[in-house]
Structures are given as structure tokens and as C-alpha cells.
Amino acid sequence: MGSGTRIPVIDSRRQRVEEHSEADISIWKEALFGAELLLLHASPVYYGFGIPRGNGSAVIVIPGFLFNDEYLGHLNGWLDRIGYRTYVSGINLNAECPNLLIRDRLARTIDKALRETDGKIHIIGHSLGGVIARSVAHQRPDDIASVITIASPFRGVVAHRAILSAANLVRTQILKEHGSKVLPDCYTAHCTCDFICSLKSQIPESVIKTAIYTQDDGVVDWRYCLTHDPGCDFEVPGTHIGLAFNSSVYSIIANRLHFARTQ
């Protein structure tokens, strides 16, 4: 998928697939994510000041494309400290068929969280992890209280050409490794698996939705990270990678989790 390639994009408002070119964005901005990590440690929010406390309910955090649970350690640790019970996704590397990840790994994590805690669970996903989180929320609305996406292009894969090239390599590996276990259009918007079909459908109103995004995103086109519901979309300053360590994001998460518990 080089320069000029047209990428199929899911527009959930119209319930159909459209075509868009790769995103014209500057990926070099992502080098600034370290500043967000430093600022996080200087923020009162990181130490639990000025935010609502949790009630012990379960939160599952899903990593982004080509990442695993480890880089989300700050977020998981913070959620534990403010009163939630966190569960790592169990994804060793998010470079796999999302449909298989949901069925074989996340399903076990969700079932464990439901057994060990009282009530519905919350799911938070960064980047591709948020896209997966929304699919799960549609598939299991009776088990999910809220879904929070962080820089997640759930309306379509409109990204920097380097990311699209990496995704194409992952798709090739998926087809080679799994063969008949996945559909021929796996890892594209033309796939007809449960993962893609869920993204094309509206998440039930019972699930509280939150979409956090930054207009300085150097990885994906931020416009595809929006629900287009002003009450659900929250803009913050920062980078795509850095939103996983962003104090403004953490503050929104705390308040939205509290809001979901009171509905």
C-alpha cells in the first residue's frame, strides 16, 4: 500500500464502505511523545488528586497496532491506584487477525473479569486496540458498561503510508500463518468477519461511548477517530503514541468511567 493507494474506509454513519487516500500527516511529531510521559509524572491526576475514585469494577485495556500490554503499564497501574481492577488483554503482539484475537484471547480475559468482579466491565483501547474494543462492545453489550477509544480510527484505516505498509506486511503474515482459518480479505475493510461487521453496526445505547483524539496525530487521520456525538468526543493536545501517557487523557478516563457507573 504505497503512496497513492486508495484505502477502503468504514463510515458507520452511512453503514457502507467508502474509499479514501492515505493520510497526509507528519509522523515526525510522534517523537515528542516522551514529553507527555514526563508531564504525566508531574501531574496531580497521576497521583489520584482531583478525579473521581473507582469502585472496584473491572477495566480491560487493549494495546495498539504492533504493541503489547507492557507499554500500557502506566495506565493500568494508575487505574489500579484510583480504585479499579485492571486486567491486561493477554495480547502478546497486536499484529494478528482481530477476529481471532477477540475470540481466542480477549474472550477469556472478559470471562475472567466477569467471574471475579461484580457487574459489567469497562474496556479501554489505544489506537487499533480501541477499534477492537468497539467491536467487542457491539458483540457483548450485556457484559460491557463502557468503551473508551484513544486515538482509534474506528471509522476507517486512514493512516500514514508507513503504517499502511506495516499493516500490509502483517496481513501477508496472517494469511500465511492461518490460511483457511481466516477469510481471504482478512485485515482489510472488505472482510466479512464478525470483527468488521460489528464495526459497521451501531453500538447499543446501553454502552457508554467515549472517543479521545488529538488533531496533532502523526499516525492516523484524527477525523476518523470521532463518534460525531459532541457528548462522546474529547479532544486533547498530544501525539498518537503519547496519548497512552497523557494526563489530560487520564482525567477524561476517570470522569467517563465514573459517568458510566452512574447511568
pLDDT of residue 30: 87
Q: Quick: pLDDT tens for 116-152.
A: 998 999 999 999 999 999 999 999 999 999 999 999 9
Please indicate, yes or no, if residue 154 is contained in any of the structural domains: yes
Please indicate, yes or no, if residue 1 is contained in any of the structural domains: no
CB 14 within 8 A of CB 159: no
Please indicate, yes or no, if residue 104 is contained in any of the structural domains: yes
Average pLDDT, the chain: 89
C-alpha cell at 245: 501517557
Stated pTM of the model: 0.90
Please indicate, yes or no, if residue 12 is contained in any of the structural domains: yes
In which domain, by residue range, is 192 found? 6-261
Q: Write the CATH number for 238.
A: 3.40.50.1820
Task: Considering only CA atoms, give the Rg of the chain.
Answer: 17
Query: Among candidates 27, 13, 37, 15, which has minimal Cα distance to 219?
Result: 27
Q: What are the angstrom distances between the C-alpha of 169 and each of 40, 78, 187, 242?
A: 34, 34, 10, 25
Secondary structure of residue 261 in the 3-state scheme: helix
Residues of the chain with pLDDT under 70: 1-21, 23
User: What distance in Å separates the CA atoms of residue 167 and residue 134, rounded to the nearest whole number?
Assistant: 20
User: What distance in Å separates the CA atoms of residue 111 and residue 199, rounded to the nearest whole number?
Assistant: 22
CB 221 within 8 A of CB 25: yes
**Number of domains, the chain:** 1
pLDDT of residue 62: 97
Q: H or E stretch including 17?
A: strand 16-21
